[in-house]
Amino acid sequence: MVAKHIIFIGRVQGVGFRFTAHRIANRHQLTGFVRNDPAGTVEMLAQGQPEDIDNCIKDLQDSFAGYIRETKIEEVSPDLRYTNFKITF
């Protein structure tokens, strides 16, 4: 298992991004979270198999192609506290 910390930049709040991310992450059997950041970005921690994380990110980028301006991805250590994928606030 690997983990990636992802920041989505653009018009990503108020457009259903977190709920779509939750659905897509669950489809790819990932654990972690997605949440709005006060700076107007969306932060995501995705944990699972590398190809599942990459496919999840691609699906989100495809779904919100007109909204995401930039995606920052950093590999981080897995956090075993997350046993499912959730929307946090």
Catalytically active residues are 18, 36
Please name which of 67, 55, 63 lies closest in space to residue 9, comparing C-alpha atoms: 67
Residues recorded for the chain = 89
Tokens representing 19 are: 């709920």
Taking the C-alpha atoms of residue 56 and residue 38, their distance in angstroms, rounded to an integer, is 23
